[in-house]
Structure 1
């Protein structure tokens, strides 16, 4: 299962490119602080989060280690399931927000860091785009 979480990056990148105000200044765009990349060659996955404001929002959240990995995995399974369900319902949920399914295999141990960032991205996504997921913090 190579690069299965890269789908989230494309989804976020596609949505981010089409949102917000257009500004013709040469210094606009996504800075390196707006991109978080995690890769593990042994598991053959990569997750890239490209979302303006996510990095600065993340530092205001509970620090790494606050949640246990099993809790994060449980929340991520639920969030991914709900997200993927919404991808399949473009008449009910915006295809601009829910562009592609996320391939998250609960049988794979992605490690703490991936689960921590994915969980926090889902919380951020819900807050920023006023979405409510079952079991979310909202």
Structure 2
């Protein structure tokens, strides 16, 4: 699979960002996780992104709707976000390994489509807000 590494990294990133923050009973956590799981897949390009982050779905509803930003805008922002994120992965002495576990393989030459770029962009915004991180491409 061409983008298996991207899938694995994003999955690991997402799982590592939201674990261990609070204690919940098993049934409440399972219900929250099911409600806050976003899956994007395209079999022809062989990629899949799964975002499992409690609160992301409800936060996403409050953001500008799909179509508000053009795909080119989202791709440009995502390139900046991924570059900044990967930069932080390479600096474990400055940035927490719990937040910045592995690099993201986002290839700007691949057309991931609007939905992937929209959700990835919004996930980076959510990540910044939830974990009090400031990225160069983030909105202020």
Divergent runs of 4+, >4 A: none
In 2, Cα distance between the equivalents of 1:89 and 1:31?
30
Contact 2:14–2:52 under 8 Å retained in 1: yes
Correspondence for 1:86: 88
Give the TM-score taking structure 1 as reference length: 0.93
| Contact preservation (8 Å) 1:4, 1:46 | no
Q: Number of aligned residue pairs: give it.
A: 136
Partner of 2:26: 26
User: What is the CA RMSD across the aligned residues, in angstroms?
Assistant: 1.1
SS of residue matched to 2:17: helix
Task: Looking at secondary structure, tell me which structure has more helix per residue.
Answer: 2
Whether 1:124 and 2:126 are equivalent positions in the alignment is yes
Question: How does the TM-score come out when normalised to structure 2?
Answer: 0.92
Name the structure 1 match of 2:77. 75
Q: Where in structure 2 are there 5+ consecutive unaligned residues?
A: none
| Counterpart-to-counterpart distance in 1, 2:73 and 2:3 | 25
Give structure 1 stretches of 5+ with no counterpart: none
Shift of 1:28: 2.9
